[in-house]
Structure 1
């Protein structure tokens, strides 16, 4: 029997979509409201809405399978190739593509492209041999291996088996378990065509005989140790972090349920700007992310970005990314960045937006200069970054 394709509703981030009352079953509307209130603002048909559905994405883009028969696709305003470029920076995906090879037309193609790269590289590593490490193990043996627990042996002299502590070389380690879990997640996404799904399954089965399937969060991919024997795992774990970061939990039980794939654009923009600055800011500056600042004994906050002088460690610029496009700087955002600057005794406070404001900000608040600047996502990202950097540091760059 031919499987029916799911009904798909397409949203664009932050744009209101109005649909007729019979376009969405009420049960589906309730699932959206209960399970995806952070991602989608939904208004049920009523007198105020003209008895129509109203849906607005809250800044996340991707695919949400509400039910097997009903999916929501949320499209970004940013060009897809720039989404790919942002991901490369934000997740440090140091992949050397031949010029013009990557031409993704949708988020699903971006997901599929990265899934295929991950699966192919895991298969390549399996052919060379998985990285193995020595793990401590305790076991009762009929022979001596490693260190014998003499106290245990003397307490039970009749027991022919000795308690031994030893190290065993194994491939069933966290480095490889992260890969297996990520492939498992990709396989459940339902976002890849059969040609890529087949490669993902092949890579998963290559690991399955050697690696225990364990649940991991994206944080497991950060700050890992790499050396000569596992250096290539750095890219593999960077790709895994992307998938684990942006794949949400299913709200249904059973392994066959598809998982939502959602990119938080505000979070991606913040990561991208930070990594781009780290790679391109003049060497006399140091970029710090998520810097904790304490306002009083009961309240502390984290600042998106700091630009510091390496020689003196002095904070020269406080930066806060704002993934939105208002006509002018909102007063709450202005007060917040000034509070950050005051807390760190910094004289330059910068609000960074993805689009030019109709009324840009450049004012003095006591000793603090507060500005709004643009790191645009509409065209070439590197050129946009260079323009942003020249506006940020006009007297420093050639």
Structure 2
């Protein structure tokens, strides 16, 4: 029997949406409040709301299956194709599509496109042969293999089998287990059409006979070691990181429940700007990301970005991304960036916003200059990046 399509209500990030009382079942509202209060502000129908539902996304975009019959789709303010471009930089996917070949109309299509790429690349690697490595193994054997546990052999001379320590070459290693777990997660998302889902299943089954299904978090995809034999796994793990980082746990039990897919736009903006600046570092500078600052024994913080002089190794600019569009820079953000600049002895502090502020910031604290600048997301991302650099650096500095 064909399954009916779920009812979907749409929100736009940071924008208040109102719905008639009968459009959202009370049970659905309770599930949103209970399970997704970090993602969505919800106000139940009451006299203040004129007996309507009030829902507002807190900056995450994607798809939430509240129940099998009722889903919430949260749309970004940023053009979808620029979301794709941001993901490409943020996760270092290095997917070089010909211009005009990444047209997507929704986040679900972005998800589907990346899932299809991952599945095809895994199938390609399976055809070539999975990367294998030697893992230590201990086993009692009737013959000698590797190193014999001499102490146990002397203590138990009556034992027929010897305890041996040896290395065994296997494909059941983390490199491949991460791929299998990610395909499993994609299969549970319910976001892919049958044509893509069948490719995902085919790739999963190709791994299933060789790899143990093991749960992984996105952190497992970071700072892995690559070399001549597994170099192509770097993009595979980059794609896996995207899916594992943005596919949340189901709040229901059972293998058939669909999983929420949510992108934290503030985090994505921070990662994108950092990676874009790293890839397009102005001449004479180098970039430090997530620089640790320790104020005292009990308090430390991380600065988004430092732009440093290659010749002197000194910090020239402290940069902090803010994915919001206020009228003016928040006082808390100003105090924070000033503290960062003082901590690293820098005279230039920059708050980066995706949109123009009604009241741009440009003030002095002694020798310290604090400014608000923009890395726009509505136009071509590389052109926006060049305009950002032009506003950041003095005109005398060459950065092309």
Deviations 1:107-158 (A, max 9, x none): 0000000000000000000000000000000000000000000111111111
SS in 1 for 2:47: coil
Q: State whether residues 217 and 244 of structure 2, in contact with CA within 8 Å, keep that contact through their aligned partners in structure 1.
A: yes
Name the residue aligned to 1:94.
94
Q: How far apart in 1 are the matches of 2:27 and 2:60?
A: 23
Tell me which residue corresponds to 2:287: 287
**Are positions 1:42 and 2:45 aligned together?**
no
Q: Report SS of the residue matched to 2:18.
A: strand
Contact 1:146–1:166 (8 Å) recurs in 2? yes
Aligned to 2:331: 331
User: Do the aligned residues in 2 keep the contact of 1:390 with 1:397 (CA within 8 Å)?
Assistant: no
Per the alignment, residue 374 of structure 1 pairs with: 374
For structure 1, list consecutive stretches of 5 or more residues without a partner in the other structure: none
1:356-375 maps to which residues of 2 (within 5 A)?
356-375=356-375
Q: Can you give the 5+ residue segments of structure 2 that lack an aligned partner in the other structure?
A: none
Q: How does 1:304-323 map to 2 (within 5 A)?
A: 304-323=304-323
- Deviation of 1:376 (Å): 0.1
Q: 2: CA distance between counterparts of 1:118 and 1:269?
A: 23
Superposition RMSD in Å: 0.9
**Is this contact kept in 1: 2:283–2:398, CA < 8 A?**
no
Tell me the distance in 2 between the aligned counterparts of 1:149 and 1:296.
50
Count of matched residue positions in the alignment of Structure 1 and Structure 2: 398
1:335 offset after TM fit, Å?
1.2
User: What is aligned with 1:150?
Assistant: 150
- Separation (CA, whole Å) in 2 of partners of 1:101 and 1:375: 24
SS in 2 for 1:64: strand
Q: In structure 2, what is the equivalent of residue 13 of structure 1?
A: 13
1:103 alignment counterpart: 103
Please, what TM-score do these two structures have when normalized by structure 2?
A: 0.98
Deviation at 1:288? 1.2
CA contact (8 A) 1:318 1:348 kept: yes
Q: Out of 363-372 and 110-119, give the one that drifted further.
A: 363-372
Aligned-partner SS, 1:369: strand
Moved more, 355-364 or 264-273: 355-364
User: Is 1:25 the equivalent of 2:47?
Assistant: no
Q: What's the secondary structure of 1:48's corresponding residue? A: helix
How do 1:1-398 residues align onto structure 2 when only pairs under 5 Å count?
1-394=1-394, 395-397=396-398
Q: CA deviation at 1:396?
A: 1.3
Per mean C-alpha deviation after superposition, the further-off stretch among 295-304 and 134-143 is: 295-304
- The worse-fitting range, judged by mean Cα deviation, of 239-248 and 338-347 is 338-347
What is the CA–CA distance in structure 2 between the aligned matches of 1:15 and 1:312, rounded to whole Å? Answer: 46
Q: 1:366 Cα deviation (Å)?
A: 1.5
Note the C-alpha offset of 1:283.
4.0
Runs of 4+ in structure 1 displaced over 3 angstroms? none
TM-score of the two chains, using structure 1 as the length reference: 0.98
Question: Helix, strand or coil for the counterpart of 1:358?
Answer: coil
Secondary structure of residue in 2 paired with 1:55: strand
2-side partners of 1:337 and 1:375: how far apart? 17
